[in-house]
Amino acid sequence: MTGEIPTYELYGEDSAAPELDILHCETIAARSTLHAGLISPHRHANLFQLFFLRCGTVRMTLDGNDLEPPTPCLLAIPSITVHGFAFTGVDGWVLTMPDVLIERLTAHAPDLTLHLDKPHVVDAVDQDVEALFSRIADEFSDIRPGRLLSIQACLELLLVWLARRLLIERQGGVSLQSKAETHVRRFRQLVETGFREQRPLDRYARELGMTTTQLNRVCRTVLGKSALTVIHDRLALEARRALVYTSMSVAEVGYALGFSDPSYFTRFFVRAAKTAPSEFRRSQRERLRRNS
């Protein structure tokens, strides 16, 4: 274990020079065969990835959760998510793009990205999705007039498709309350930049131009949980990542997450994970060794 979770641009590369300034596209086989089909747990800073797995089998870990999704399927992996794969006979593509591109493409419809701050596995993928990935791969591999416009148009259609599928899964097709979701999206962005500082809830509310009561109301409406739970969930997620994938001591993890005393961190983690930090680290690392 190292002191930090590996953070790459493309897997295995500390820096990359994308052939296209907005996106990198390659077959899953092109990257996985370089590593005998095994992609060790890692994460990307400021990069969003979409995988389309047309066929084959995959065992994967997403922030400590082991999954074996059926193919065909689509995987949405936001930046900072710890993910790893074991591919066998997989055919498909992976798109890697900067977060700022997603923000730019959806600036006119920010609700499309509300639930893209966490990973998703979407099965029963239709032929339209495969056609969009295929078109992007075709455009990426050749220099033709209108190349960038074509790729961006296909990306927008993919994001619309994904947002609609997630909406159906969450609410059975009921329209989202866009104003509340916009508030929640902005709140989550603030939490992402400030959770390590242990900012009080009223500070977040003030930055959003709301009261804590209003912030709690929109969080419960959209997410089914309180605003404080959103903050605690993010802290707990980062704690789990650090315990499993870094060599920091339990106390060091607590200090890194803004806890002034290791005992405070331990009590917080036990409430969140129902187990002590040291036991969580031992069991999860043992699970990773068995699956490696």
Distances (CA, A) of 46 to 7, 37, 232, 237: 10, 25, 22, 18
Give the rounded distance of the alpha carbon of 39 from its chain centre.
16
142 or 5, which is more confident: 142
CA distance 235 to 3: 18
Q: What is the mean pLDDT of residues 250-271?
A: 97
Q: What is the mean pLDDT of residues 114-137?
A: 88
Q: What is the pLDDT of residues 61-73, one digit of tens each?
A: 988 889 999 999 9
pLDDT above 70 covers a percentage of the chain that reads: 87
135 or 38, which is more confident: 135
Under 8 Å between Cβ of 129 and 136: no
Question: Exposed/middle/buried for 3, CB within 10 Å: 0-12, 13-18, 19+?
Answer: exposed
The encoded tokens of residue 276 equal 């002590």
Beta 47-62 vs 73-77: how paired, if at all? antiparallel
Q: Would the pLDDT of 130 be above 70?
A: yes
CA distance 83 to 209: 35
Q: Would the pLDDT of 232 be above 90?
A: yes
CATH architecture observed for domain 7-171: Sandwich (2.60)
Q: Would the pLDDT of 47 be above 50?
A: yes
Q: CATH 1.10.10.60: which residues of the chain?
A: 178-291
Q: What pLDDT score does 15 carry? A: 41
Name the least confident of 162-171, 211-220, 268-277.
162-171
Give me the long-range contacts of 165-172 (CB less than 8 A, separation at least 24): 165/122, 166/115, 166/120, 166/122, 170/115
Q: CATH 2.60.120.280: which residues of the chain?
A: 7-171
Q: Would the pLDDT of 181 be above 80?
A: no
Q: What is the mean pLDDT of residues 262-278?
A: 96
Whether CATH 1.10.10.60 fits 178-291: yes
How many other CB atoms sit within 10 Å of the CB of residue 165? 19
Q: What is the mean pLDDT of residues 2-9?
A: 52
